[in-house]
Structure 1
Amino acid sequence: MASIDRQFSRRRLLSGAAALAGGGLLLGCAPGARNSAEDLTYWHLMSGGDGVVMAGLVDAVNGLNAGFRATQTVLAWGPPYYTKLAMASAGGRAPDLAVMHASRIAGYAPGGLLEPWDLDELAEVGIHESDFPPLVWQKGMYDGKLYSIALDTHPFVLYYNTDHARKAGVTSALKTMDSPEEFVEVARKLQQVTGKHGLSYGYLGDGSQMWRLFYTLYRQTGAEMKLVPGSPADVDEAAAVKTLTFVRSLLDDNIASRSGDGGTATSEFLHGESGLFFGGVWELPVLKAAKLGFDAQPIPTLFGTPAAYADSHTFVLPRQSKVSPERRKHVYRMVAEILKRSVSWAGAGHIPAYQPVIESPEYQQLKPQSNYAGIPEYVNYDPDAWFGGAGSDFHRYFAENVQNVYLGSGDPAAGFDGFVKRLNVLLDRPQPV
């Protein structure tokens, strides 16, 4: 398989990498040592519990003695990782395989920083489009080619304290509520049980947390958000105002703290001081370690249309100036073997993207993971934009304009308008790469 044949100018590459890093500091990066076609280099940003599980998956694949051995390099999450990956790809000296959030593909694929996957070669190792949820597979596509293969979907969900729910008499209501009014009623009943808050939601100083809840509920209204370079942002202001007004109504220091941050919200829920908790599935290991009586489910459809914010960890082929067909064949085998073993990845809360794993008895027995396994069927990723995605400044722009709305001192319409104006400035600029 030949590498992408493109001519790059150093100035464009440097400016592009700076933009892709979301304003992060440009850092130099040396390519991994390559002693032979059997030695594969693999970059990712998994740390903590995720890092331990990923290391176990890599060890398991290496243990197959399939003619190659992968060496993983773990880099700091966010701008440092994406800057180094962009620079390595720009110079054609990237690793054989890397992990990238699905929300970042729009910033890399158009500029030639990634190489597409060959569907025939994927089929040879047993990986097919039909093995993935349609929306998850489609997110990896650009210009008719597949640039990323999802390992998982990691959505924003609703956790609840099972003991508090039983005492408040809302266990059934949690499964059936379908309006903002019903959600508020359940939260208030739980507050009466806890004596503190009905809901924990930490967002202060965290644009990603603000965005995750907003975009889930905004999309539940049926509204869309399209960001096309050269055109103003296509948004539904009425739906945005409706959503922001509802979120602010929850932050009344009764249902939920008006100014809670992520750590405070998690601690509050862990100590039984609330009955509900908005959080990512990545919070699951911490909750399980606390031996708390809890369960999890998709965020209820409160505004008519099923929707859930999520991102995905995906496998990508960073651009290389020279590609060894033998090494590339090993990469395909490595990815296939990790996907087929990804039930262990579900232990961290993530939803495996490879559907044969989801359909397995082993996964179906996982609780609460299997309770929200249907989310990929209606998942909502960040709008495609070269300046968006995990580790970029997109969520920070949202926070700069909307945090005061959440705090109760800002006007929802004015806050959202400020965010849209910031997007329009970026959309008016040419894509750096």
Structure 2
Amino acid sequence: MRSTTSSIPPVRRRAFLGAAAGVTAAGFLTACSGGTKVGAGENDTGDAPAFGGGEYDGPEVTLEYWNGFTGGDGPHMKAMLAAFNEKYAGRITVKNTTRRWEDLYPAMPTAISAGKGPDVAVIHNDQIATFAVRGTLIPLDDVVSALKLTESDFIPAVWQAGVYEGKRYSVPLDVHCLADYWNVRHLTRAGLEKAPTDREGYENALKELKSAGVSQPFWMPNKWPAHLMFMSLLWQFGGELYDEEGTKALWGSDAGEEALAWMTEQIRKGYSPGQVAQDAQYNAFKNDKVSFTWDGIWQINDLKSTAGKIKWDMASIPTIGSTPAVWSASHNFVLTSQAGRDKNKVQAAKFFIDYMSERSTEWARAGMIPARNSVRAEAGVARLPQTQLAKDVDVFRFLPALPGLGDVQSKALELAVQKAVLGQQPPAEALSDGVKTADKILAENKQKYAK
């Protein structure tokens, strides 16, 4: 998965998805996490020291910090790091290593086991369970307790996404989600001031745009971000992805069929070509050919480069079903078992995580929605276009915390969506076949990641 930011080409996002799916048990530390202990075996140093908050008062320490911010978000993260290192010079030095997500995730477990990995890192929420179950991460319950952080300080869904098996393994930095982008001139031509927010209005808008001369106003992708669109619609129609035990895929339900049928309907009605090449829908939007496109908020800064070519605006994706909902993800700070071998690194890393989370105003300029309520409330942040999407935080939906979920998503759900959108199978048939594959992988994961 590429960094979910504005200026990174979509090909990096696709590469990450494959890499995330390929991070298997063989590549992870085989030790399991036990309470606040670090990984067992050669990495076992006993209980990690508790975090008491306040200022770091230990000896001078250097922290290795890994992240995947290789695109337009990178300079913003580096600015935050520079400010931290300047303020705490002589006490804590944070050394930054930036790698592509598709390289970072497979490399982390082996590097941590060898003592050559990160002490603190940023990972996506859908990776937390997989890393946690293999003892690669140290719980952060003492951090949130000492700082008196609660769900009320954050967007609730992203706060909950950092918990696995009753323990907190992350502190969220941001939320990023899909958004509905539209071509202002196209809508004006069709007599529309802005994008409609409900199914009837949206479908009527597509009809009016076609009548106004935009032959195919809403291109439907069969790959990225088609599966994110499908999940958003699934939740809107009242469906769920997986059961609570993580043993059954539920997206082959009536809600799933309704969601996928709506996607294929856009092709049947002539609003989209039948076979949209990878990234073609976004490139067509940037080149004034498409009226609507659903894509991530990480595209905001990239679209700013189109000034003079197109005039665009954005809002939450429309509610096609009965309940507003949108696929969302999050970058999260985590503490690794490598840091757990040194009590001073543990303390410094926990202090660093809190500092970066609380002072994430700069990160909002990278196109992200700050996870912390206090940051989103700042005047300069509240005015940013992506922050407007967080007016109703209940719409954000996240993938469940299931170890090895990347395999299920890429090898089952994404393929089912692709086959239906390409017309290779009817939606119901594609979903049925996909669920069978998903259930098989889920069963294998139960064994693979068993404690």
Task: Please tell me the TM-score bracket, short chain as reference.
Answer: 0.7 to 0.9
Can you list the C-alpha shifts for 1:94-141, whole angstroms capped at 9, x where unaligned? 42101111011222222322110033x346567554321111101101
TM superposition shift of 1:332:
2.3
Contact 2:161 2:400 survives alignment (8 Å): no
Indicate how the Cα distance of structure 1 residues 302 and 402 shifts in structure 2: closer, same or farther if over 3 A, else same: closer
Equivalent residue number for residue 299 of structure 1:
317
Amino acid of the structure 1 residue aligned with 2:185: D
TM superposition shift of 1:269:
0.9
Equivalent residue number for residue 246 of structure 1:
262
TM superposition shift of 1:21:
4.9
**Which of the residues 343, 362, 373 maps onto 2:390?**
373
TM superposition shift of 1:265:
1.4
Amino acid of the structure 1 residue aligned with 2:388: N
**Which of the residues 181, 184, 200 maps onto 1:159?**
181
Equivalent residue number for residue 191 of structure 1:
210
- 1:96 and 2:96 correspond: no
**Which of the residues 255, 271, 288 maps onto 1:272?**
288
Indicate how the Cα distance of structure 1 residues 357 and 313 shifts in structure 2: closer, same or farther if over 3 A, else same: same
TM superposition shift of 1:185:
1.2
Return the alpha-carbon distance in structure 1 between the equivalents of residues 173 and 339 of structure 2: 26
Equivalent residue number for residue 67 of structure 2:
44
Can you list the C-alpha shifts for 1:326-364, whole angstroms capped at 9, x where unaligned? 222222232223223322222232111011111110112
TM superposition shift of 1:229:
6.0
Matches within 5 A, 1:313-392: 313-320=331-338, 322-366=340-384, 368-374=385-391, 376-389=393-406, 392=407
Contact 1:197 1:256 survives alignment (8 Å): yes
- 1:178 and 2:194 correspond: no
Return the alpha-carbon distance in structure 1 between the equivalents of residues 409 and 112 of structure 2: 22
Report the 3-state secondary structure (helix = DSSP H, G, I; strand = E; otherwise coil) of the residue aligned with 1:251.
helix
Return the alpha-carbon distance in structure 2 between the equivalents of residues 111 and 20 of structure 1: 18
Contact 2:138 2:340 survives alignment (8 Å): no
Indicate how the Cα distance of structure 1 residues 237 and 272 shifts in structure 2: closer, same or farther if over 3 A, else same: same
Indicate how the Cα distance of structure 1 residues 24 and 115 shifts in structure 2: closer, same or farther if over 3 A, else same: closer
Amino acid of the structure 1 residue aligned with 2:157: L
Can you list the C-alpha shifts for 1:151-190, whole angstroms capped at 9, x where unaligned? 1111011011122222222225x24x422x3322112222
Indicate how the Cα distance of structure 1 residues 298 and 431 shifts in structure 2: closer, same or farther if over 3 A, else same: farther
Amino acid of the structure 2 residue aligned with 1:188: K
Indicate how the Cα distance of structure 1 residues 298 and 92 shifts in structure 2: closer, same or farther if over 3 A, else same: same
Contact 2:76 2:363 survives alignment (8 Å): yes
**Which of the residues 160, 163, 174 maps onto 1:141?**
163
Report the 3-state secondary structure (helix = DSSP H, G, I; strand = E; otherwise coil) of the residue aligned with 2:327.
strand
Contact 1:211 1:395 survives alignment (8 Å): no
TM superposition shift of 1:260:
1.6
Which segment drifts farther, 104-113 or 67-76?
104-113
Which segment drifts farther, 336-345 or 42-51?
336-345
Amino acid of the structure 1 residue aligned with 2:163: M
| RMSD, aligned α-carbons | 2.8
Return the alpha-carbon distance in structure 2 between the equivalents of residues 342 and 381 of structure 1: 21
- 1:216 and 2:232 correspond: yes
Indicate how the Cα distance of structure 1 residues 144 and 409 shifts in structure 2: closer, same or farther if over 3 A, else same: closer
Return the alpha-carbon distance in structure 1 between the equivalents of residues 420 and 285 of structure 2: 24
Return the alpha-carbon distance in structure 1 between the equivalents of residues 113 and 246 of structure 2: 25
Equivalent residue number for residue 3 of structure 1:
none
Indicate how the Cα distance of structure 1 residues 21 and 369 shifts in structure 2: closer, same or farther if over 3 A, else same: closer
Contact 2:252 2:435 survives alignment (8 Å): no
Amino acid of the structure 2 residue aligned with 1:166: T
Identical amino acids, percent of aligned pairs: 27
Equivalent residue number for residue 107 of structure 1:
130
Return the alpha-carbon distance in structure 2 between the equivalents of residues 114 and 213 of structure 1: 31
Equivalent residue number for residue 427 of structure 2:
412
Can you list the C-alpha shifts for 1:367-418, whole angstroms capped at 9, x where unaligned? x2232123543311123322224xx562343233332210223111110011
Return the alpha-carbon distance in structure 2 between the equivalents of residues 282 and 227 of structure 1: 30
Contact 1:125 1:332 survives alignment (8 Å): no
After TM superposition, the score normalised by the length of structure 2 is: 0.81
Amino acid of the structure 2 residue aligned with 1:255: Y
Q: Number of aligned pairs?
A: 399
Return the alpha-carbon distance in structure 1 between the equivalents of residues 447 and 136 of structure 2: 13
